[in-house]
Amino acid sequence: MKPRGSKDNRPVNLELTTISFPITALASISHRVTGVLLFVSSLFLVWALDQSLASQESFDALTALMSSALVRFVTWAFLAALSYHALAGIRHLIMDMGVGEDLKGGAMSARILFVLAAIAAVIWGIMLW
């Protein structure tokens, strides 16, 4: 809110696609997004657990469903999100202990986070296919 009589003529940019976010912001936003994805996907996991325990027939049907390429991709995406979220959580815990709290340390830990998460995603992909 501008003070009365202020002549602030700076442009206001509200289009998020044109803003260049720093790597630390991308790491933080990604951590939140993966948390939401994990919460939503937990509904599917509870359903799958219920189906696997209901009867032998439902277990066999679930096994057939889990062997499809689409479900394997969804499983890979879940595991990649889980890995990223866990690694980002560890990064936050380390920063809470006072390590890497400055801008340079935060940027470096964000880069390390993205590299480790990419490696974990590749490893999950190899294990699933």
In this prediction the pTM is 0.83
Whether 91 contacts 27, CB under 8 Å? yes
Among 59, 73, 56, which residue's Cα sits nearest to residue 124? 73
Q: Show Cβ contacts of residue 51 under 8 Å, excluding neighbours closer than 6 positions.
A: 58, 59, 61, 62
What pLDDT, on a 0 to 100 scale, did the predictor assign at position 17? 79
Q: What is the pLDDT of residues 31-51, one digit of tens each?
A: 999 999 999 999 999 999 999
Q: What is the pLDDT of residues 84-124, one digit of tens each?
A: 999 999 999 999 999 999 999 999 999 999 999 999 999 99
Joined tokens for residue 77 = 């995406």
**Is 14 a residue whose pLDDT tops 80?**
no
What pLDDT, on a 0 to 100 scale, did the predictor assign at position 3? 62
Domains in the chain (CATH in brackets) are: 22-128 (1.20.1300.10)
